[in-house]
Amino acid sequence: MTPPVDARNRELTHLQALEAEAIHVMREVAAEFENPVLLFSGGKDSIVLLRLAEKAFRPAPIPFPVMHVDTGHNFPEVMEFRDRRVEELGVRLVVASVQEAIDKGRVTEETGPRASRNRLQTTALLDAIAEHGFDAAFGGARRDEERARAKERIFSFRDDFGGWDPKRQRPELWNLYNGRIRRGENVRVFPISNWTELDVWEYIAQENLEIPSIYFAHEREVFARDGMLYAVSDFVELMDGETPFVESVRYRTVGDMSCTGAVRSTASELEAVVAEIASTRVTERGETRADDKVSEAAMEDRKIAGYF
């Protein structure tokens, strides 16, 4: 539970101020848009979004569905958590399936040892937004993750094709958000844009939120590639010289197994995870996401095409 504010001192704590801003954004979207959706991957950031949505609208239920873009190559622990959490909250789950997009010929699956379905998520996401007529999609992106996300507004305008143009984003002065769009356009909304990874973990600890087990240290069969540790799975083909071994690891991000790396860790409890994040000097995406290492502008290129 959020600690009560001392009646003699109404100044909010750092986390209380971030929480208040995010709840304000969520209520603003619920008031301005006709058909919002919350993107829920089962990862730590979207878990925080769900908690904020609960607080923003309680005692009423969360007034919009959640959507997961399922690559088909997700960590099984995360999928189990996703389904259980959605059922507990009683919210409607919309699944945008990359496998379905492949089967329909909308995208072509990559082949080879570096093949990944991560890039294919964009088409599945845009198709689902169009199919269901969503005009606003909450996302858990934060400005501290990497440079393209640092350019994002909290209300990030997307054109008729789902594309993002940094030069066309609207000014956000004094927390005034412009949600006016034409039919076919939409916005991505990032209520925790101003949070850091450490803020997210401290909030999870404060709220005692349940998270998937892969966020805690566990022994796993992995192999080393390009300075990262990948989980051995049916979705990644080993290259010559790559030998699996068992290591104590945990994950800082949740994504497609083909592009998400683990970090060596012995942090098996929330307190230890928070301490680990407080001492690191490497961003989570810089340390664990191969999709951001393709080029200097990899994330920005994906966002221009309609990525999260």
All structural domains of the chain: 14-199+297-305 (3.40.50.620), 209-292 (no CATH)
Residue identified by tokens 């010929």 is 105
Cα–Cα distance, 236 to 259 (Å, whole number): 9
- The pTM assigned to this predicted structure is 0.89
Query: Mind listing the pLDDT tens digit for each residue in 26-60?
Result: 999 999 999 999 999 999 999 999 999 999 999 99
Q: Is 70 exceeded by the pLDDT of residue 8?
A: no
pLDDT at 6: 56
93 pairs with which residues across the strands? Answer: 66
pLDDT of residue 281: 81
Query: pLDDT band for position 206 (50/70/90)?
Result: very high
What does the alpha-carbon distance between residue 300 and residue 149 come to, in Å, rounded to a whole number? 8
Band of pLDDT at residue 295, cut at 50, 70 and 90: low
Distance CA 224, CA 206 (A): 34
Residue type, 86: V
CB 215 within 8 A of CB 253: no
